[in-house]
Structure 1
Amino acid sequence: MIPANASARKGPEGKYPLHYLVWHNRHRELEKEVRAGQVDIEQLDPRGRTPLHLATTLGHLECARVLLAHGADVGRENRSGWTVLQEAVSTRDLELVQLVLRYRDYQRVVKRLAGIPVLLEKLRKAQDFYVEMKWEFTSWVPLVSKICPSDTYKVWKSGQNLRVDTTLLGFDHMTWQRGNRSFVFRGQDTSAIVMEIDHDRRVVYTETLALAGQDRELLLAAAQPTEEQVLSRLTAPVVTTQLDTKNISFERNKTGILGWRSEKTEIVNGYEAKVYGASNVELITRTRTEHLSEQHKGKVKGCKTPLQSFLGIAEQHGGPQNGTLITQTLSQANPTAITAEEYFNPNFELGNRDMGRPMELTTKTQKFKAKLWLCEEHPLSLCEQVAPIIDLMAVSNALFAKLRDFITLRLPPGFPVKIEIPIFHILNARITFGNLNGCDEPVPSVRGSPSSETPSPGSDSSSVSSSSSTTSCRSCEISPALFEAPRGYSVLGGQREATARDDDDDLLQFAIQQSLLEAGSHNLGGANQQQARHPPYVL
């Protein structure tokens, strides 16, 4: 028996009591230890794993169940950057994946609810506005550039209310879906109402998020994944894409020739912006396949189209200022050959041995140069007005999550009227802010402040017109009807039935790649009708 008194323990069982019990799969003793609450459930062992990470990697289902039931964080990454869910998938244990996936979704809901009061306060303090965010995907590969998608998000913010309209919804079975949807967030004193409005089917799916008093068991039951969702993970590669910005630096772009070079500025949607280049941006894509059967590995390798082969060649040769480094790793897993003393000894080198299944890993590292167009006189505030919107959208949209990660860097001064950042391999995303408060193109639901639109007696009409245009771009009034369910639409409680979306980065990146490959293979004959009818995007 392991001593109950922590002070009486020696060696790894004293330094890492929870890890030691997990190592030996003693889930009943682990339950008692966790209930006592005297040890940090998120403690890291010398290999950078929490007790939950270790339990998952070893495939110890009951230990994982104990830790999850007592609040172990599913979202933590280990030293190598893998999540608990990704390690669970590598074990090929369907029940373990289902358990981890359930608690991951449950914890996401809890964190989402906990963040609502802060979000409501930010929205309340921020000035009301309307803005359009145009997303365009670009590539240095000419053929890919022709089929890259685009979409324009329309964003209304009024008081504690938010509405976002889009026409590109996501994907189902790796096929991009098109539609006409509005997403409404309406804040109240003690709760928030979230609506998804399907304008094609004239249906509104509504959900009330209470800020307190949520029943834990009900939330856990709602987070139970289907067997189909679990199987889809076990039969697909684990893919993760990260922007490494730790060495990023910003420099003003120059224009001119020889000794006449000056700092570059451009006009973006009527605003003068300084152009910056961001260097030392690395896009790291890692793919694991050790959990796949030979049959599924064959499907992954054998589904190449002519365009996919071309993309592979293009990636290897790189593009302008884009270099690609591809490495493959095969680890040796032999837990029986590693003792607890060796594992928990920080001075002992494991080499390429590790716990769990032998890792089959392919890593692609590409260097990019991002670009920023910053306007110091822009009416919008990135921190006060736009950042809360991006935070809210990032909860269920991995593209917005990448944008959030970039804008939270220490940027030069000014509002980013346009941003170009790498998203996936040979694909960049260009985000442009425009039509602020309907100043460029009229928006029926938005009008400028009345005080700025009515000329005072005896004033010069031309000067008032110019002044009112500027003023109305800085303030606006938004119709309250925008945040209500449209008349004649059916209103349903809860979320829509086809909630097969998964906002994980791995599925997002795989979907972007597949959509480009499929669209490209259809368009090799020269027709671009597929792009116009089904431009890809994720929400």
Structure 2
Amino acid sequence: MSSACDASRHFPLHLLVWNNDYRQLEKELRGQNVEALDPRGRSLLHLAVSLGHLESARVLLRHKADVTKENREGWTVLHEAVSTGDPEMVYTVLQHRDYHNTTMALEGVPELLRKILEAPDFYVQMKWEFTSWVPLVSRICPNDVCRIWKSGAKLRVDITLLGFENMSWIRGRRSFIFKGEDNWAELMEVNHDDKVVTTEHFDLSQEMERLTLDLMKPKGREVERRLTSPVINTSLDTKNIAFERTKSGFWGWRTDKAEVVNGYEAKVYTVNNVSVITKIRTEHLTEEEKKRYKEPLLALLNMGVRKFPCDSVG
């Protein structure tokens, strides 16, 4: 009884969400902090979605609750929505998330253009890779060489790492070219493998005027795809990150390693103690779907297991 009273006194909005009292929640939210956290670090929207309370979630979204926020464990509101297994919840959260992201992207373009123009022209090439001391894990760790060109208000980025699917990294050659002036911008995606160019042109003032929540309706197959796939959250743990100059030469004659990149001498560093943490949730999947996604992982882990014949001793 006392715990309920404490919750009512210290976290009244969370208690309304817990009970899905969305009508009272609508009244109480006026002038209140819609991003208030409970002792477990959950926002009102996180709590409503994780409990499957669609009515309360809609009230909070109307009051501009942050649909992109993560909780303490790194799960987003969309992660929680998918884990409920409710198509309507996923649809609602996806729609508001896409609207939020599109709005923020359009609002940020003028500032991005200004910063690009102010920056000096350059070319940079970055090679990165992850390794692991765990046997066989290194072979699935990502690596890529990213090349970036900047000239005036134009920016080009070349990559070869496109995504991760069925326990393997998807490779391909892609170029992304961005250019713009004042109130317009253009983004080109060049698929070098298929020799296809996709171009999007944005008139910023018109795009902002036309942008509405109704235009952000997710496609049915997008909702279905998420509901039939595991929820995967990958993050980098850099709490103990350490940088160390890479050495070259033989023992006793080792010196700091340097490489020449486009005529410039560059120092080489090794980054240690960076962990890639992957969390997977499957509570929304059927047993058949769980088995389908579990088998590739088991196959990978079993690659390093050698089986030896056993002779019986009589």
Query: TM-score category by the smaller chain?
Result: 0.7 to 0.9
Note closer, same or farther for the CA distance 1:101–1:273 as it changes in structure 2 (3 Å cut): same
Which amino acid counterpart does residue 21 of structure 1 have in structure 2? L
Q: Which residue of 1 aligns with 2:23?
A: 28
Shift of 1:179: 6.6
Q: Deviations over 1:334-377 (max 9, x none)?
A: xxxxxxxxxxxxxxxxxxxxxxxxxxxxxxxxxxxxxxxxxxxx
Counterpart of 1:472 in structure 2 is none
Aligned residue runs from structure 1 range 64-463, under 5 A: 64-133=57-126, 153-165=146-158, 182-197=175-190, 200=194, 204-210=198-204, 214-215=208-209, 218-254=211-247, 260=252, 262-269=254-261, 270-303=263-296, 307=300, 309-310=302-303
How far apart in 1 are the matches of 2:233 and 2:76?
A: 10
CA contact (8 A) 1:254 1:261 kept: no
Report the aligned-residue RMSD: 3.6
Distance 1:306 1:46, change over 3 A: closer
> What is the letter of the counterpart of residue 58 of structure 1?
L
CA contact (8 A) 2:81 2:90 kept: yes
| Maintained 8 Å contact 1:234/1:292 | yes
What SS does the aligned partner of 1:186 have?
strand
Question: Residue 311 of structure 2 corresponds to which residue in structure 1?
Answer: none
CA 1:204/1:97 → structure 2, altered by over 3 Å: closer, same or farther? closer
Contact kept in structure 2, 1:116 and 1:211, CA below 8 Å:
no
More contact order relative to length (CA 8 Å, sep ≥ 6): 1
Tell me the distance in 1 between the aligned counterparts of 2:28 and 2:189. Answer: 44
* Superposed counterparts of 1:459-474, under 5 Å: none
Secondary structure in 2 aligned to 1:42? coil
* 1:283–1:17 distance in 2 versus 1, CA, 3 Å: same
Deviates more, 1:118-127 or 1:157-166: 157-166
Tell me how far 1:190 sits from its aligned partner: 2.5
Q: Which residue of 2 aligns with 1:12?
A: 7
Gaps of 5+ in 1: 1-9, 315-539
Structure 1: distance between partners of 2:230 and 2:291: 12
Within 1, Cα distance between the matches of 2:270 and 2:162?
31
Cα–Cα, structure 1 residues 147 and 287, in superposed 2: closer, same or farther, change >3 Å?
Answer: closer
C-alpha change, 1:40 and 1:232, in structure 2 (3 Å) is same
Give CA-to-partner distance per residue, 1:123-144, whole Å, 9 cap, x none: 1111113444556777779988
Q: Percent identity?
A: 53
Q: Greater Rg, structure 1 or structure 2?
A: 1
**Partner Cα separation in structure 2 for residue 235 and residue 96 of structure 1:** 15
Query: Which residue is 1:413 aligned to?
Result: none
Output the amino acid matched with 2:35: E
Question: Separation in 2 of the partners of 1:268 and 1:141?
Answer: 32
Are the equivalent residues in 2 in contact too, given 1:131–1:154 (CA < 8 A)?
yes
Does the 8 Å contact 1:249/1:279 carry over to 2? yes
Equivalent residue of 1:214, what SS?
A: helix
Q: Which amino acid aligns with 1:64?
A: A
Q: Judge which range, 201-210 or 69-78, deviates more.
A: 201-210
Partner-residue secondary structure (3-state), 2:214 = helix
Shift in CA distance, 271/42, structure 1 to aligned 2, threshold 3 Å: same
* TM-score between both structures, scaled by the size of structure 1: 0.48
Question: Given residue 222 of structure 1, which amino acid in structure 2 is its aligned partner?
Answer: L
In the alignment, is the contact (CA less than 8 A) between 1:185 and 1:192 conserved in 2? yes
Deviation at residue 149 of structure 1 after TM alignment: 8.5
- Measured at CA, do residues 253 and 153 of structure 1 come closer, stay the same or move farther in structure 2, by a change above 3 Å? closer
Work out the CA distance in 1 between the residues paired with 2:298 and 2:10. 53
Which residue of 2 is the match for residue 521 of structure 1? Answer: none
Conserved in 2, the CA contact under 8 Å of 1:193 and 1:207?
yes
Instruction: Indicate conservation of the 8 Å contact 1:252/1:263, yes or no.
Output: no
| 8 Å CA contact retained: 2:180, 2:186 | yes
Classify 1:133/1:209 alpha carbon distance in 2 versus 1 (closer, same or farther; 3 Å).
farther
Q: Aligned pair count?
A: 300
* CA deviation after TM superposition for structure 1 residue 277, in Å: 3.1
**Match for residue 309 of structure 2?**
none
Residues 103, 181 of structure 1: alpha-carbon distance in 2 compared, 3 angstrom cutoff: same
Q: Which amino acid aligns with 1:208?
A: F
Task: State the distance in 2 between where 1:119 and 1:40 align.
Answer: 30
CA distance in 2, matches of 1:170, 1:284: 16
